[in-house]
Amino acid sequence: MQAGASFPQVQDIVLIGGGHAHALVLRMWGMRPLPGARLTLINPGPVAPYTGMLPGLIAGHYRRDEIMIDLVRLARFAGAALILDRAVGLDPARREVQFADRPAFAYDIASVDIGIGSDLPEIPGMADHAVAAKPLGRYAEAWQAFLARRLAAPQLVIVGAGVGGVELALASAHRLRGQGARPQITLIERAAAPLPHIGAKARARLLAKAEAAGIAILCNATPAAIAADRVTLSDGRVLASDFTLSVAGGRPQAWLAETGLAVQDGFLTVGPTLQTLDPAVFAAGDCAHLAHAPRPKAGVFAVRAAPVLFHNLRALASGRALRPYHPQRDYLKLVSTGDRGAVADKFGLRAGGGWLWRVKDRIDRRFMAKFEDYPAMARPVVPAEAAKGLEALLQARPLCAGCGAKLGAEALQVALAGLPAPQRPEVIAGPGDDAAVLRLAGGGLQVLTTDHLRGFTGDAHLMARLTAVHALGDIWAMGAAPQSALAQVTLPRLAEPLQARMLGQIMAGASQVIRAAGADLVGGHTTQGDELVIGFSLTGLGDRVVTKAGARPGDAVLLTKALGSGTVLAAEMARAGAPGLILGEAYAACLAQMARPLAPASAILAPWAHAMTDVTGFGLAGHLMEILRASGVAAEIDLGEVPLLPGAETLAAQGQGSSLAPTNRAALGWAVDLPPGPRADLLFDPQTCGGLLACVPEDRAEALLAALHAAGDSVAARIGTITEGAPFLTARR
């Protein structure tokens, strides 16, 4: 995962937040990693908006994917681990980042760039009936939902008549008029005049634009309560509102003031080197207060601070001199007017027009271009004198992690073919099923299995959770209850303090899943190697087990999770992009599904299933074929009913896929008849933490699906039918 990973890692540098400064630091880090430093980014979501293009998104000039920095692709390029979670605290004394639902994360050096919010939590109804412009995610979703209502005369109330409020009001008016609507937009400003932080000439130009757009501005006004259809002001006036937006200044996240570090109005105070009161903690962007040179909250200062922050993080880690950051006194403000026009303001001067929009558009797109294309991953160079076949193997797709790193079915079949039959009477099932089955002396059955995964995420806590869910899948696939687990962990080369940190994250994540499953994590084994590998040996108990044999003609074939994890993980490893697709969001959705244990689905399906397995390395086609061969039946799949992860089909159509997928397809050969296309290709996609594949009585299928949906498996679907005949798989579109 880590750039420069051939060197042992000895220091943890943690970036908290995916703001503009940190995004640029990550980009620079990818081009110049610091040997021995392990870089981690912590952010609650997989993307970060470029705020300069937000009004253009609202006005309809940009697509959502055009204004989002994909932090997943960026972190991969930088060689940084990515933790998709929200930090809720920082303890400088213990040097730990705190979370709500996972263990604290230790650091040697930290930097904070978490932006600000524009919500108004003190106003009744704000959380339930309004949306804040920052953070962007909820605002963008709410805006799209509002546009879909297509109201003829929508009424909007925007709290805050600063530059951001006026800019978004103009953008909203332009978009709604483009839909044929007649919007009524009202801006509320608590000050005596709107646009307090801009030059007089630019203010006059923007106010003229607002008046021409029919936007009303109420000054000396504050909201007292917000309801679903109105805003009540403190003086008793009531404004009808179909969409209420807050752009009222910038509010720091509350936990910053609880760190014990110096703050100014809740913002972290930093000096010229961007260090806080604790030299090991830096801050940049809107969450920081520049004590030596106070400036308004604006993205331009975060962008200009990034090279200094990049240098100083490396300098502190390597014992070199730090540099000061001196922000410019003023900067060019380009304020869009909704209709592909803009107003410029600097040093009190003013200009405006369509040509300024084009200037602003070029500046914004140039910034976003930094995060669109990254250098291709380097491939090993084959020496002039090398064994035959080496070049062909190295030119194949890079080896995937997760289940994409497993051996193919054909190689396993050859290796297992020579194993003798069980010789002990209590061993009643062995190779070929999901787990070995042992008959207990006192009655009942015990299942025994093992599994491990190469690390595909630098978040060790999450990797352990996913590996535990994946390994437990074999227990749940046989309808048994998990009993015990032993861990096998290979850590990459790390200094001893980092070893303890990573192992602690792994054991905490694994224990969380295993104990929730009703089992105990009772020990294990550790070693060091080239990369992170986590595995578990597990036992489970049951009065009966569900095997792969037993499927009957007429049975319905049910699948509980969407396909595509191998393709999404391979695309993430390759930093692949696709028009209209934000890879980071597809990756986050993939991880969210993978983290869902199979226990609820197993409890629903096991009492009724004639045959069942979990879909893992051999893909849906391969694991279904195991059922068909064990049961002596055939199957027909409806490709249109097979659930797919967001983005998986788009990526597969572009040629993205796991290194194991071609082997999975070749292993089935003549035994499948599938139409060409990416949906069929995904039947061979190796799944990590895949769903259950169950053959159930036809007359129980609908009830079982309803129960699965009620239990949270919302994508569970009937994907086909078992038919008579020799083992053969067909599919129709």
Catalytic positions are 403
* Contact present, 733 and 675 (Cβ < 8 Å): yes
d(CA 409, CA 405): 12
* Contact present, 125 and 227 (Cβ < 8 Å): yes
**What are the counts of helices (DSSP H) followed by strands (DSSP E) for the chain?**
21, 37
d(CA 638, CA 719): 6
Neighbours of 225 (CB within 10 A): 15
Tokens at 722, concatenated: 């078992």
Tokens at 454, concatenated: 């190469």
Classify 38 as helix, strand or coil: strand
DSSP letter, residue 174: H
- Give residues with Cβ within 8 angstroms of 598, minimum separation 6: 469, 472, 473, 476, 477, 560, 614, 691, 692
Task: Determine whether 660 is exposed, middle or buried from the number of CB atoms within 10 Å of its CB (0-12, 13-18, 19+).
Answer: buried
Classify 431 as helix, strand or coil: coil
Identity at 168, one-letter amino acid code = L
DSSP letter, residue 644: B
- Give residues with Cβ within 8 angstroms of 329, minimum separation 6: none
DSSP letter, residue 19: -
Neighbours of 279 (CB within 10 A): 13
DSSP letter, residue 214: T
Classify 423 as helix, strand or coil: coil
Beta bridge partners of 494: 9
- What's the number of CA atoms in the CB half-sphere (13 Å) around residue 13? 28
Query: CA distances (Å), 531 to each of 9, 103, 135, 456, 528, in order?
Result: 12, 22, 36, 10, 8
Query: Listing from the earlier edge strand, what are the strands of the sheet with 238-240?
Result: 223-226, 230-233, 238-240
Tokens at 457, concatenated: 């995420």
d(CA 25, CA 2): 15
* Contact present, 369 and 305 (Cβ < 8 Å): no
Burial 149-187 (b: 16+ CB within 10 A, else e): eeeeebbbbbbbbbbbbbbbbbbbbbbbeeeebebbbbb
Beta bridge partners of 283: 112
* Contact present, 671 and 589 (Cβ < 8 Å): no
At residue 237, φ and ψ (nearest 5 deg) are: -65, 150
* Contact present, 132 and 117 (Cβ < 8 Å): yes
Query: CA distances (Å), 282 to each of 245, 311, 312, 449, in order?
Result: 32, 12, 9, 47
